[in-house]
Structure 1
Amino acid sequence: MRDWKFNHIDFSIYPSYKGDDLGVFWTPEKTTIKIWAPTAKMIEFRLYKDGSTGEAFHKTQLQAVGDGTWSTVLMGDYEGRFYTFRINDGEWLAEMPDMYARCVGVNGKRGIIFNPQKTNPENWQNDQGPELKKFTDAVIYETHVRDFSISESSGIQHKGKYLGFTEEETKTASGAATGLSHLKELGITHVHLLPVYDFYTVDEEKPLEKYNWGYDPLHYNAPEGSYATNPYDGTVRIKELKKLVQSLHANGIGVVLDVVYNHTFFTKESVFNQTVPGYFYRQKKDGSFANASGCGNEVATERAMVRKFIVDSLKYWAKEFHVDGFRFDLMGIYDLETMKIIRDELDKIRPGMLLYGEGWTGGESPMPEEKRAVKRNSPKLPGVACFNDDLRDALKGNHSSKKTKGFVNGLELREESVKFGIVGAVHHPQIVYDYVESAKQPWASEPTQCINYASCHDNYTLWDKLKASCPKAGDDEMRKMVKLAGAIVLTSQGIPFLHAGVEFCRTKGGNPNSYKSPDTVNQIDWARKEEYHDVFTYYRNLIHLRKNHPAFRMPLTSQIQNHIKFCTEYKIGVVSYCIYGREVGDSWEEILLIFNANRKETLIELPAGNYRIAVKGDEFNADGHGDTVSGELKAEPISMTILVKTEN
């Protein structure tokens, strides 16, 4: 029986390979096969006519060709045939596709030899995503392929599928825009998709019987089949995912993929361990698998061929699927050097791709923290952003604790933590960092490294968290809190990030961890857009405001330090500050923002001068027709007010 402990092995002496031809590649004349398996003694390649049943109709042996690689060439046209490998390193490992498999059959049991050109939609060669002048121009909208369209209220034909994103002019029964039309109406710049690589726990033959977010990786380079109209032909899922990307691009919306290279669903049984046992994972001192992911293992990103696999995979998605960025799950597991190389290599393909992730882990790692891509190491990772969980928890209370509160739901003395988020987690001379509960020092070098958010797929939705912490709050107060949280996120420096449906008070019925809960919990109920249309309108107006005013999206720390001033007298439950917009190219010379989280009107003494009311409550007067005030202002309860200084 195999011993799955590896403290006796020095993986650093394994040979590495630098070529770009690992995998299975088709041409009409031949199929070329190459894998890296330095501990193998024998490798068998098997061909099948079916993706999950039947016996192999052809078997052949690979030959060792140097640097730990094994290869063979099949002469003839094998397009559409299914394949597996079986490796013997002293004993036979499990039969499965290779780790580079780009096209797989149902449930990922076998790879498919395919012609990539046939997976391209019409006019694919002209497809191109939106160009960002600077990262802070982005407004990211996180959603799950199935959640987005599965509800009856969506009015979308291809429910739960990639093609749901391609349908134009979809509506609810009452006529409210849904799907793609909703995204255009809202005004976001990028859709962030929860994992769309091939994951394990949803049976692609019976996709509606189970639900999962997809953080259970099986094959990293092949799309998930449960979102395709045909899970048996692996080329269909590739083409339909490309159509999703093409549709969003055609409407000026970029696509960010959620990637999970930090762990695999299986450990001993994974394609990594069934190819090169132990190499792809970090180990504890006793040789057992380390578990900083909290999912049973953590990938050893610092090892040469692990790093190569991750970089090759990202480059493949960027080139083949034209995606515009990547979000890294538990990025704090990755080593810093790998993240730097990822940034550099993707810039060679297309400069300006969004790269961001969770600057933390799910548990202890044997790799020292100073070598990993955690938040506090952000200065070592230019061009890579981290989620600002400091602002998230400051706004609404601890993310995982049901009853805790934050600024918008009435907890006092959270003002300094909110200010920390407003300046994009960079250093600002007026912030007293000792009063920032979760971060005693700034961690971002530039605001482009800060993703500001109030909620995401993890934990409670914003609505559910506010409801749990304020059980006596009425509907009007609930709406105001959701609006205030959105107002802070969408006017703060950094990159704003929205959880799909937050703009119409999405609920999961109080479920704090819905990763495998049914569609009834996870689906976006588009009927709520009609019920909470004032909240949707407010968020749409906020996005429009942000896009029109560079004062809310400065790319440089020096601009924030020089042109943002906390310019009013401190009051409990209030955060207010001035932006000197003219200095950063804004049409508004001086802007005063007031966030009042108190449950009553609060009198604010204004700096000298006259101010026009641009935003007050639900009223947006960004075109210049607002009333003028001076001296003092009564800020409405649980609201944002924006004043613009006038010369009169």
Structure 2
Amino acid sequence: MNSINRNFFAYLDEMNIVTILLPYSYHHGLSSLFFMAADAAKTSLEILDKTEIEDYNKYICQFEGEFSFGKPYWIFDEHGGKTELQIGAVIRTEQFDQQFYYEGDDLGVTFPTGQTCFKLWAPTATGVKLKLRSPANGYSEIIKMKREHNGVWSISLNRDLEYYQYSFLVLVNQEWRDAVDPYAKAVTPNGEQGVIVKLERTDRPRPNLPPFENPVDAIIYETHIRDFTIHQGSGVKHKGLYLGAGELNTKGKDGEPTGLTYVKDLGVTHLEFLPFNDFAGVDELNPSKQYNWGYNPLHFNAPEGSYATDPSNPYSRINELKKLIDQIHSMGLRVIMDVVFNHVYIREQSSFEKIVPGYYFRHNEIGLPSNGTGVGNDVASERRMVRKFILDSVVFWLEEYHIDGFRFDLMGILDVTTMNEVKKTCDSLADGVLIIGEGWNLNTPLPAAQKATIANQAKIPQIGQFNDKFRDTIKGSTFNLFDKGYALGNEHLVDAAMEVLTGSIGFTKKGTRLFNQPSQSVNYVECHDNHTLWDKLEGCYSDMGQSIREKYHRLATGIVLLSQGIPFLHSGQEFFRTKHGDGNSYRSLDTVNQLDWERKMTFKANVEYIQGLIQIRQKFSCFRMRTSEEIRSHTQELILPSPMIGCLYQFSGQEVILVINPSSQTQPMTLPEGEWGILANHQFAGLTAKEFKKAPEYILEPVSLNVLLKK
């Protein structure tokens, strides 16, 4: 860092406005004139306002003419004092955003006509250098880059630089900073340097997948690459790695399928992985010593190294991740990538902040970084080059890795325009790309009308949102372990349960519409966050036997699978996954987080039951109606004594009844006319009716979900 003897401070806060802070210790904080100099040219500053602020006098000054970004400027006062003009809040102005928007698709490293070309967007920098390190001898060289239009700096070299490490030295506000390329596609262990790779060497053909017509046809299964196979009973060779998650025909101790083959047999359509872009929290050279979910993003376009067989080889993680995705596709399944564009791990150390300080993050009314995410920074997605980065990254994963969908972590931090652009861009490149996100309303300085929240669902109609109303109605509050939902026997939530069962579209008279269409509702009772459903049940029903907890669990999961909308399962939910009471296991041990494949053996009957419900959902389109109009016109609410709820669906030439009894008592119900085959009850679920019942009476077992098909 350059050492500057500053008498006072000066900041460019708007295109023609300079803010000057004179400390009282310097001429009592008083000056009657200021001027600005760059090269030999001097410009007078007109003082518009003077106020006292703590130990300073604050002067707001204006100048005529155009400010030339990329040059160093100095401010002088009447006493002969001097300070450099630092880039201040100007970077958060609309004029700055418009002037420096760069449309090109060649930021980072590209290879036009045999050259290696480097481009970096750094509009406020007064100098940028490329730092290269040879893979052969570790020799470093530093090469000056040239400033071009829209704040882009570039250099083209007539050399093959494959495997070279690189970074950018950026001079902003008289300080040199060393930053990894934000567009880096490969990195060294722990993301310390970018690495130049030729991705065409890793190309794999895009597979043909079975058609996917509508989001409600999806059944999402969420897992974590390490959790998925690290258990000693997983039957997987490459435990905890990309290659392990992609191994086929693996078997557990019972000789039955585990891993990817098991997931295929279960019947889900989409496998959603917690973040696998490069993240902090696990030493990639000693991955077994630490654990992390992956919500500490370092580099958005490079795969995480702790899941690779050789983190030191930049191609290892790329090829192995691509092979994993290929294997999933070979099973006819799709891949959803969990993306974390709402924050970075540590703002001050991020490439974004080093290269264009203050631009990529939101600041509050007093100029401090905002913290709606709770981790110290909020990404300013509404700024044009931030939005561009997000879109460029999504396109990169879609095209280079053949990703089929994206789950946006803390989507409510992001803005509506960005999310609509994401969906529009994905749709222009591939069919059936599924976009879902967490639309929580978080305290970030973005106008409420612009946030990508559930409240603004009508503004982002093509994007699915995690339905916390569904979660808390069916399971009970996520934040109060002992609060019971409808499926856990809470009889006060009957109306709310009917509402979420029918897609949260305002079907019931008492229901307030959460979404306009069922495809916007991601229905879940459990995910990687918070307590598992099993652990919550152990809290709520610690004084009862295990069999009743199993029934409540089965009922809640069954409601997820047979409600209108998009069903979402947490891996292992079907065999009562436990984290041994840990409600926030983001960096807990493998013994807490691992998918325990022996539970799959222990609770085989429940796995088969869930498998049967999945088959029912996929066979009968009445459980995945595509519009709210279809739901309203083809669903008849059955009149049943509380707390039972039921629906008669007359859809696609079939009549199907879904009826739920969450109480601890058997309950009689009157069947409509005709003969009804039982596809699901408290014991079994599948496509073949185990028995038939004729009107009028049918007995509902305690804590049961029932599906009946008219013969």
Match of 1:558 among 623, 629, 632: 629
Match of 1:427 among 506, 522, 536: 506
Match of 1:357 in 2: 437
Which residue type is aligned with residue 383 of structure 1? Answer: Q
Matches within 5 A, 1:86-125: 86-120=169-203, 124-125=204-205
Match of 1:36 in 2: 121
Match of 2:679 in 1: 614
Deviation for aligned residue 1:624: 4.2
Deviation for aligned residue 1:590: 1.4
In the alignment, the residues of structure 1 paired with residue 543 and residue 387 of structure 2 have an alpha-carbon distance, to the nearest angstrom, of 51
User: Larger Cα Rg: Structure 1 or Structure 2?
Assistant: 2
In the alignment, the residues of structure 2 paired with residue 542 and residue 517 of structure 1 have an alpha-carbon distance, to the nearest angstrom, of 32
CA distance change for structure 1 residues 460 and 50 in 2, over 3 Å: closer, same or farther? Answer: farther
Matches within 5 A, 1:477-492: 477-492=548-563
Match of 1:418 in 2: 497
Contact kept in structure 1, 2:129 and 2:170, CA below 8 Å: yes
Deviation for aligned residue 1:25: 2.0
Match of 1:383 among 443, 456, 462: 462
Deviation for aligned residue 1:93: 4.2
Deviations 1:124-166 (A, max 9, x none): 2242444312111110000000000001010101111011122
Say which SS state the counterpart of residue 487 (structure 2) adopts. coil
Contact kept in structure 2, 1:400 and 1:512, CA below 8 Å: no
In the alignment, the residues of structure 2 paired with residue 274 and residue 426 of structure 1 have an alpha-carbon distance, to the nearest angstrom, of 45
Q: Does 1:574 align with 2:644?
A: yes
When normalised by structure 2's length, the TM-score is 0.86
Deviation for aligned residue 1:400: 1.9
Which residue type is aligned with residue 122 of structure 2? Answer: A
Match of 2:390 among 310, 314, 331: 310
Which residue type is aligned with residue 262 of structure 2? Answer: H
Match of 2:589 among 518, 538, 552: 518
Which residue type is aligned with residue 246 of structure 1? Answer: D
Match of 2:36 in 1: none
Match of 1:151 in 2: 231
Q: Does 1:325 align with 2:413?
A: no
Which residue type is aligned with residue 344 of structure 2? Answer: T
Q: Does 1:598 align with 2:626?
A: no
CA distance change for structure 1 residues 114 and 564 in 2, over 3 Å: closer, same or farther? Answer: same
Deviation for aligned residue 1:561: 0.7
Say which SS state the counterpart of residue 307 (structure 2) adopts. coil
CA distance change for structure 1 residues 27 and 65 in 2, over 3 Å: closer, same or farther? Answer: closer
Deviation for aligned residue 1:30: 1.9
Contact kept in structure 2, 1:427 and 1:561, CA below 8 Å: no
In the alignment, the residues of structure 1 paired with residue 487 and residue 427 of structure 2 have an alpha-carbon distance, to the nearest angstrom, of 39
Q: Which has the higher contact order (CA 8 A, sep 6+)?
A: 1
CA distance change for structure 1 residues 242 and 431 in 2, over 3 Å: closer, same or farther? Answer: farther
Q: Does 1:645 align with 2:705?
A: no
Deviation for aligned residue 1:92: 2.9
Say which SS state the counterpart of residue 309 (structure 1) adopts. helix
CA distance change for structure 1 residues 78 and 378 in 2, over 3 Å: closer, same or farther? Answer: same
Which residue type is aligned with residue 399 of structure 2? Answer: K
Deviation for aligned residue 1:499: 0.2
Which residue type is aligned with residue 104 of structure 1? Answer: V
In the alignment, the residues of structure 1 paired with residue 177 and residue 283 of structure 2 have an alpha-carbon distance, to the nearest angstrom, of 20
CA distance change for structure 1 residues 126 and 258 in 2, over 3 Å: closer, same or farther? Answer: closer
Which residue type is aligned with residue 521 of structure 1? Answer: V
Match of 1:436 in 2: none
Deviations 1:67-118 (A, max 9, x none): 0100001111111111111100133343231111111111111111111122
When normalised by structure 1's length, the TM-score is 0.94
Deviation for aligned residue 1:202: 0.7
Deviation for aligned residue 1:427: 2.5
Aligned residues: 626
Match of 1:448 in 2: 519
Higher strand fraction (1 or 2)? 2
Match of 2:144 in 1: 61
Deviation for aligned residue 1:633: 1.7
Which residue type is aligned with residue 70 of structure 1? Answer: W
Match of 1:437 in 2: none
Match of 2:216 among 126, 129, 136: 136
Match of 2:207 in 1: 127
Contact kept in structure 2, 1:103 and 1:112, CA below 8 Å: yes
In the alignment, the residues of structure 2 paired with residue 181 and residue 17 of structure 1 have an alpha-carbon distance, to the nearest angstrom, of 45
RMSD across aligned positions (CA): 1.8
In the alignment, the residues of structure 2 paired with residue 48 and residue 348 of structure 1 have an alpha-carbon distance, to the nearest angstrom, of 39
Say which SS state the counterpart of residue 60 (structure 1) adopts. strand
Matches within 5 A, 1:199-214: 199-214=279-294
Contact kept in structure 1, 2:171 and 2:177, CA below 8 Å: no
Say which SS state the counterpart of residue 580 (structure 1) adopts. strand
Matches within 5 A, 1:243-254: 243-254=323-334
Q: Does 1:85 align with 2:168?
A: yes
In the alignment, the residues of structure 2 paired with residue 42 and residue 168 of structure 1 have an alpha-carbon distance, to the nearest angstrom, of 52
In the alignment, the residues of structure 2 paired with residue 344 and residue 625 of structure 1 have an alpha-carbon distance, to the nearest angstrom, of 46
Contact kept in structure 1, 2:615 and 2:686, CA below 8 Å: no
Match of 1:72 in 2: 155
Match of 2:361 in 1: 281
Q: Does 1:25 align with 2:110?
A: yes
Contact kept in structure 1, 2:416 and 2:452, CA below 8 Å: yes
Contact kept in structure 2, 1:359 and 1:386, CA below 8 Å: yes
Matches within 5 A, 1:495-514: 495-514=566-585
In the alignment, the residues of structure 2 paired with residue 128 and residue 295 of structure 1 have an alpha-carbon distance, to the nearest angstrom, of 40
Deviations 1:461-516 (A, max 9, x none): 11111111111221211111111111111111111000000010110001000001
Q: Does 1:48 align with 2:133?
A: yes
Q: What's the % identity of the aligned pairs?
A: 39
Deviation for aligned residue 1:607: 3.3
In the alignment, the residues of structure 1 paired with residue 358 and residue 517 of structure 2 have an alpha-carbon distance, to the nearest angstrom, of 38
| Structure 1 residue runs without a partner (length 5+) | 434-440
Say which SS state the counterpart of residue 240 (structure 1) adopts. helix
In the alignment, the residues of structure 1 paired with residue 333 and residue 680 of structure 2 have an alpha-carbon distance, to the nearest angstrom, of 27
Say which SS state the counterpart of residue 488 (structure 2) adopts. coil
Deviation for aligned residue 1:412: 1.5
In the alignment, the residues of structure 1 paired with residue 660 and residue 184 of structure 2 have an alpha-carbon distance, to the nearest angstrom, of 51
Which residue type is aligned with residue 505 of structure 2? Answer: V
When structure 1 is superposed on structure 2, of 471-480 and 24-33 the one drifting more is 24-33
When structure 1 is superposed on structure 2, of 208-217 and 467-476 the one drifting more is 467-476
CA distance change for structure 1 residues 514 and 93 in 2, over 3 Å: closer, same or farther? Answer: farther
Contact kept in structure 2, 1:158 and 1:164, CA below 8 Å: yes
In the alignment, the residues of structure 1 paired with residue 477 and residue 283 of structure 2 have an alpha-carbon distance, to the nearest angstrom, of 35
Say which SS state the counterpart of residue 244 (structure 1) adopts. helix
Deviations 1:164-196 (A, max 9, x none): 122121111221211011111101100000000
Which residue type is aligned with residue 533 of structure 2? Answer: L
Deviation for aligned residue 1:621: 5.6
Deviation for aligned residue 1:605: 2.7
Q: Does 1:545 align with 2:616?
A: yes
Q: Does 1:290 align with 2:361?
A: no
Contact kept in structure 2, 1:129 and 1:324, CA below 8 Å: no
Contact kept in structure 2, 1:377 and 1:443, CA below 8 Å: no
In the alignment, the residues of structure 2 paired with residue 216 and residue 380 of structure 1 have an alpha-carbon distance, to the nearest angstrom, of 29
Which residue type is aligned with residue 346 of structure 1? Answer: C
CA distance change for structure 1 residues 93 and 463 in 2, over 3 Å: closer, same or farther? Answer: farther
Say which SS state the counterpart of residue 515 (structure 1) adopts. coil
